[in-house]
Amino acid sequence: MKKRFSLKETRLFIALALLVQSISFFIMFIILCVKKKSIAAAFLAVSAMGGSTAGYLLWQLKEETDAEFDAAREALENDEYLEFDEARIAADLAHGSVDEDVEEDGVADFIPCEENVSEDEFK
């Protein structure tokens, strides 16, 4: 199945292409200005328009990326599983046991366990 691209996915490439075009047109403006051609102002106008559009697209992309990053960071900061009691964990590790409430929450299910492994395989 072929994936279709939207403007949001191609925004960076469009902005970079406009930026390169803007720089090229500005160089053309300088060359034509030195030769005293009347079309030089048109190249400057197109260069300014392309540069401002590229800048806007890049700014918009940065704002969306910052918003996504802030939302992900906030979700991590508010996560209940990241809050734990260090003393309880130290005691569990010292005794080699896992609390029953951790097993009830299903957190212990995420620990991979192979039942048919011998002690020799770990050495």
Domain around 99? 79-111
Q: Same domain, yes or no, for 37 and 60? A: yes
Nearest to 15 by CA among 67, 59, 64: 59
Q: What digits encode the pLDDT tens for the residues 16-74?
A: 999 999 999 999 998 888 888 888 888 889 999 999 999 999 999 888 888 888 877 77
Q: Give the pLDDT of residue 27.
A: 92
Answering whether pTM is above 0.75, one says no
Q: Same domain, yes or no, for 85 and 37? A: no
CA distance 22 to 12: 15
Q: Give the pLDDT of residue 20.
A: 93
Q: Same domain, yes or no, for 6 and 54? A: yes
- pLDDT of 95 > 80? The answer is no
Q: Is residue 18 part of a domain?
A: yes
Q: Same domain, yes or no, for 52 and 98? A: no
Q: Give the pLDDT of residue 23.
A: 93
CB crowding 82-119: b at 16 or more within 10 Å, else e: eeeeeeeeeeeeeeeeeeeeeeeeeeeeeeeeeeeeee
Q: Is residue 122 part of a domain?
A: no
Q: Same domain, yes or no, for 106 and 50? A: no
